[in-house]
Structure 1
Amino acid sequence: MDEVLKIVNDIKAGQIRPMYFLMGEEPYYIDKLSDFIEQNVLSEEEKGFNQTVLYGRDVSVEDIISTCKRYPMMAERQVVIVKEAQDLSRTIDKIESYAENPMPTTVLVICYKYRTLDKRKKVTKQLEKNGLVYESKKLYENQIGEWIKRVLQGKNYAIEPKAAAMLVEFLGTDLSKINNELEKLQIIIPKGSTITAKHIEDNIGFSKDYNVFELRKAIGDKNQLKAYQIAQYFADNPKDNPMVVTTSMVFAFFVNLLQYHGIKEKDRNPKNVATVLKVSPYFLKDYDVALKNYPMRKVSAIVAKLRDIDVKSKGVGANALPNHDLLKEMLVEIFN
């Protein structure tokens, strides 16, 4: 995020590079930077003749170079944005000839999502020398909570740890999806407020009492009554609680628990455990309880059983079994 802010601040200060090669596994910041350049480098009057948006599936590298070599009309510069440039992955190296001597009156933005250039190649070195190469890396799950907190702080909001954890648990590490949900909340919640688990439940549709991480907590606590109550709720609301998602997340919990068992006692400080397991520190207390309730041998056996149930949840060899029966089977295997 700090690198993105620097790029944005440099552009605001008039320090505009002739080339921006935006690449990496996390598309969120690639889109944000591309959108910022598209909206802010040229005035509204200049954009009509001097801003061009191309798509990788529709053009060749030669087309891009040809467009970049045009002169701006009644403006200091033109902006050429190439979206979905990963579709040009087989020929992207041809941009090297342009990168060696880019047009000073053109700002070329290449959005190369889900891929990266080899940093040892000459094309990458030329792009770095005469422009800017930014790699947008995927955040680990245990980093997303802090990212949510920082994004909201910048917009004068705070968020409860549980509310942030709920977003991560249900939306995963997709920053764009999480940001979309945060923007919805900001429409209805006044600035200066703290976003709570109830806000998430009421406005995004997650139940704070009947959700997967409450199920995992009940399992970790060996609270069979609560676990079966949640399972019944899932069975009654299958569209909102797909069996495939439930089994995969419970499976991930026990895989992490197995890893936890493998961490030496002297290394079991919260920061290290959260890093090794790649989970939010908020959930560590759940793992600490489960660690005492499930010895390593039992966890290994549960992981093996959950693999079989996951296969069944996908309809392999168990087409006739309803969700309720699969959920019951999963809990029986865990608690026995």
Structure 2
Amino acid sequence: MAKKEVDRHLQIISDIRKKNFKPIYLLMGSEPYFIDMITDEIIANALEDADRDFNQTIVYGADVSDISVIINAAKRYPMMAPRQLVVVKEAQLIDKFDDLLYYVQKPLTSTVLVINYKYNTLKNKKIISEIEKAGVVYESRKLYDSEIPGFVSTYLLHKGISIEAKESAMLCDSIGADLSRLTSEIDKLLLTLPENEKRITAADIEKNIGISKDFNNFELLKAIIVRDAAKANLIIQYFEKNPKTNPLVVTISVLFNFYANLMLLYFIPDKSPTGIMSVLKLKSSFQTKDYITALRNYNAFKCIEIISQIRIYDTRSKGIKRAPLTADSDLLRELVYKIIH
């Protein structure tokens, strides 16, 4: 079955840039970002510009009436070029996709066939097995929330830019887990950096993305972890004045993810930074510090109570059993009080 390493797409892209093409690429899974990234690299590198008119075919699953259309396109020979490129986008919409087995058993080596099977995985193990023999099968899964800051660091590293774990968390908490939007906002941020600047700071983020380096979900969580009620209330007051940049649904999600992860740690034998990194799939020991502090400040029974309260306030934030005229900031203030005390 397809490998699921987080960074496998980088090796695939490296081979593409070296012109090491495979006859078939099956790119499937729930995360469209990596599928689009690999596809764009193939389109950019497979053909010279002068060869595209006669040797590049891009079709969409919704417009394909029969899989034979794809097979016939793939079986054509290139015209005055070393290869031809056939890209099938939204292939999950094609009826009788299993009939592609006829072609993948004997693919044409002068064709590069790229199949985008988004938001799902192909179930036909025979097709997958045959493609793996001659080509590439890549499963693009959604990243865990704990993996996204590491993704940001790696993304910037390949651009020659560094970022600390705190600043990476600020970006992720504010922008969210949509990798396409996240990378787009990062690219905009990079355009604002002074020439020769190789590091993104909290001040850069605050200035250009509108996230306060002192009043954000990352700092609120840290205040709650150490049970600093005064600082937590100052941050909530800031959120109250800036509701559009600090939506309650995002804050509740940050709190839930942290305490759900924390709950796992009470039951592991190795509570060292290395043990915590392994269980939570963290990429930096810096990220373990808050969990170690929380393990000291909250016992398992309190953690269960906190998760229960977060669930209650999540439903209230969506209007269920919510008192009339209750502001989001009031709900957050109540929730934080019950967590800390």
| TM-score between both structures, scaled by the size of structure 2 | 0.88
The match for 1:236 is: 241
- The answer to whether the Cα contact below 8 Å between 1:228 and 1:328 also exists between their aligned partners in 2 is yes
Q: Letter of the aligned partner of 1:282 in structure 2? A: F
Q: Which moved more, 1:110-119 or 1:198-207?
A: 110-119
Structure 2 partner of 1:78:
84
Does the 8 Å contact 2:16/2:41 carry over to 1? no
1:269 paired with 2:279, answer no
Distance change (3 Å), C-alpha of 1:319 and 1:56 = farther
* Distance of aligned partners of 1:191 and 1:101 in 2 relative to their CA distance in 1, 3 Å threshold: farther
Are 1:335 and 2:312 counterparts?
no
Aligned equivalents of 2:147 and 2:213: distance in 1?
Answer: 22
Q: What is the Cα deviation at residue 231 of structure 1?
A: 1.2
Q: Is the 8 A contact 1:141 1:278 kept in 2?
A: no
Contact 2:85 2:111 in 1 (8 A): yes
Distance in 2 between residues matched to 1:194 and 1:12, nearest whole Å: 27
Which stretch has the larger CA shift, 38-47 or 55-64? 55-64
The 1-side partners of 2:221 and 2:16 are apart by 46
Match of 1:24? 29
For residues 4-60 of structure 1, the C-alpha deviation after alignment (integer angstroms, 9 at most, x for no partner) is 344334334443222111122332222111111111111111112221111122214
**Match of residue 310, structure 2, among 296, 306, 309:** 306
Displacement, 1:171? 3.7
Match of 1:150 among 146, 154, 176: 154
1:294-314, CA deviations, whole angstroms, 9 ceiling, x for partnerless residues? 222222222222211111000
Q: What is the alpha-carbon distance in structure 1 between the residues aligned to residue 280 and residue 13 of structure 2? A: 33
* CA pair 55-331 structure 1, distance change in 2 beyond 3 A: same
Bigger mean CA deviation after superposition, 22-31 or 278-287: 278-287
Contact 1:79–1:107 (CA<8 Å) still a contact in 2? yes
- Measured after TM superposition, the shift of residue 281 of structure 1 is 3.6
Preserved CA contact (<8 Å) 1:142 1:274: no
Percent of pairs with identical residues: 45
How far residue 150 of structure 1 moved from its aligned partner, in angstroms, is 3.0
2: CA distance between counterparts of 1:148 and 1:326?
31
Say which is worse superposed, 306-315 or 250-259, in terms of deviation.
Answer: 250-259
Deviations 1:182-234 (A, max 9, x none): 21122122345111121122112211111112111111111111111111221
Equivalent-residue separation in structure 1 for 2:328 and 2:19 (angstroms): 58
How far apart are 1:173 and its partner, in Å? Answer: 4.2
Match among 61, 67, 89 for residue 67 of structure 2: 61
Q: Tell me which of 194, 216, 226 is aligned to 2:199.
A: 194
Matched to 1:132, the amino acid is V
- The amino acid across from 2:114 in the alignment is V
Aligned to 2:225: 220
Q: Structure 1's 62 and 262: CA in aligned 2 closer, same or farther, altered over 3 A?
A: same
Q: Residues of 1 paired with 2:72 and 2:45: CA distance?
A: 24
What does residue 3 of structure 2 align with? none
Letter in 1 for 2:191: I
Matched, 1:133 2:158: no
* In 2, Cα distance between equivalents of 1:25 and 1:222: 38
Gaps of 5+ in 2: 1-5
What is the DSSP-based 3-state SS (H/G/I as helix, E as strand, rest coil) of the residue aligned with 1:16?
A: coil
Q: Which consecutive unaligned segments of at least 5 residues does structure 1 have? A: none
